[in-house]
Each structure stands twice: as C-alpha cells, then as structure tokens.
Homo-oligomer: A and B are copies of this chain.
Amino acid sequence: MISAGTTAAAADDRRYVLSLGCPDSTGIVARISEFLSDLGGWIVEAAYHADPNSGWFFTRQAIRASSVDLSAYELRERFAEVAAELGPETEWTLHDSGTPKRIVLVVSKDGHCLHDLLGRAAQGELPAQITAVIGNHRDLEPVVRAHGIAFHHVPFPKAGTDPEARAAAFAEVRDLVDAHDPHAVVLARFMQVLPAELCEHWAGRAINIHHSFLPSFAGARPYHQAFARGVKLIGATCHYVTADLDAGPIIEQDVTRIDHTYTTRDMVRQGRDIEKLVLARGLRWHLEDRVLVHDHKTVVFS
C-alpha cells in the first residue's frame, strides 16, 4: 500500500458544514445565525447567495465542531426545526467533516484522471476515501491495487452491440457502486453513456469530466471537433451526470491555450492537464458541500 494519507480532517479542524437552499425572504440570515449563535457556534466560513432570477437563497456555513456541545446528529435534529420554518421546499445537509466521505471511481483505459486522484488521495488532499475503482478494462488495475484500493473488472460489450449484456454490465456496476454507498461516483473518463435510470439513481452524486468546454463539442471526440473548428483554446467541464448527455449542471470548467501547431494528439496530451485540474477541483468542492444545485445550474461556494 502506497500511503496512508490523512483523509479525515485533524481533530481541531473538525467542522460541521451546513448547506442550504430555500426560497428567499427577509430574515433568513438572521434566523440561521441566531440559531448558531445561541448554541455558541463559532463560524469559520460563511457564504451566502441570493439569486434574483430564481428567487432562491443559498448558504453554506462551516462551524468549528468543538464550539458546540452537540453531536452532528443532535445538531441536525435541532436545525430541522429552523429549516421547517424556511418552507417546505427547503433543502439542506449538515455534514460532520470528522466522518470521512467515500468515493467510487469508474474508469476505462485512459489513466490520467485516475493517476491524479490516486496521487491526491495518497497526499491526503481529498476530503474523502477512494473505496473502490471499477473498470471495463484491466489496464489500470495494477496501479489501483498498488494504492491498496479494490479494483473490480466489469467488461462491457461495445456500444450499440448486445444490449442485454450491456444492461447486465451496468447492473453489475450499479451493485458494486451501491455496496459502498458513496458520496461521489466519479466517471473518470469512463467513456460509456450511463442509462437514464442510473443517472436518475445517482442524481446529484454522479460526476463526469468531459474533455471540452461545454456546451461546445458535446458528445464523442471533442478534441477532433475542436481541431476541425480551429478554436484557440481547449477546455474541460466537470458536471453532474443527467440523462441528457453532457448537459448536466456544470460544477467547474477551465481552458488552456493551443495554436495552429497542435495536432489532435497534442490536444489530447495538453487537454489531460486541464481535465485533471477541473475534475479535482469540482470533486473537492462537491465533497466539501460547496456545490448547491438549483434549476439545472450550480451555486459553488469555492
């Protein structure tokens, strides 16, 4: 096993993280901060966003766990009353950073995102543990095992062939993933289109990295599309997976400059660096409860 890492925050860094979205109205900030203040809660991070378009309010607050005399469970019970006052549409989570989250990665042959995330995990940089990797090829199995992580091989028939075998393979992936009840299912260049029901089943937890600056060049072979159009920058997009291909809520995007000398092979090479960065950032924000989804768009309290 390569490295233990420190995936959970150190004790003095332990935080309760509240993320909430609800219809906007006067007094929400006051209500929440009064609640926390009454418990002696020491707020170490607080972010707010009122969206004039949707009329929704969003907040994320991180409280030093040691400042309140309650377990996360008790705090959740208490806060539920506040949330109820904010209306029935209110959505919220309250996470204890001392309880590490779990990630399952789904990969194919291309290893750059996998190598990158394994390296970050080994450095203790991810606020979660990679509990398993599932691949439709065995190419990446050795490096995964070298990191002391389970690897499951699920072969897939080619897209467009043998729909029953494909359905069975997806069912096996689903079961393997669900066995870990992960907070994030990361399609790290998996290259297979998930069936709609899996998108639905993992809604809000399945994260994809697409190798273009969406909405440009959705679908197959985006670098070839970029080459054909003659763009001067290429990019990558980290987004939640929905049944609508490459159209889910965008978490993070970035670009890198290219020029006329770049072949598609050069783009593939240079694009990897952006894919790795964009996925790593988006995944970290997701795991730290910094991403709130509403109306098919994200609020990211990065």
Contacts and interface: CB of A to CB of B under 8 A. Distances in A.
Interface of A: 1-3, 26-27, 29-31, 33-34, 36-37, 40-53, 67, 111-112, 115-116, 118-119, 122-123, 125, 139, 142-143, 146, 213-217, 229-233, 235, 249-250, 252-255, 259-261, 263, 269, 272-273, 277, 280, 296-300, 302
A231 B26 CA distance: 29
A36 B30 contact: yes
Given A37-B30, A43-B50, A300-B260, A252 B232 contact: yes
Given A45-B261, A119-B119, A215-B231, 15 more contacts: A3-B111, A26-B37, A29-B29, A43-B48, A47-B47, A49-B260, A111-B122, A115-B123, A143-B146, A214-B231, A215-B216, A232-B250, A232-B300, A233-B254, A260-B299
Q: Is the interface of A mostly helix, strand, loop or mixed?
A: mixed
Nearest to A27: B37
B26 A40 contact: yes
Contact of A43 (B29, B215, B229, B263): B29
B273 A250 contact: no
13 contacts: A3-B111, A29-B29, A30-B30, A45-B50, A51-B260, A116-B119, A146-B146, A213-B231, A213-B233, A213-B255, A233-B253, A259-B302, A260-B298
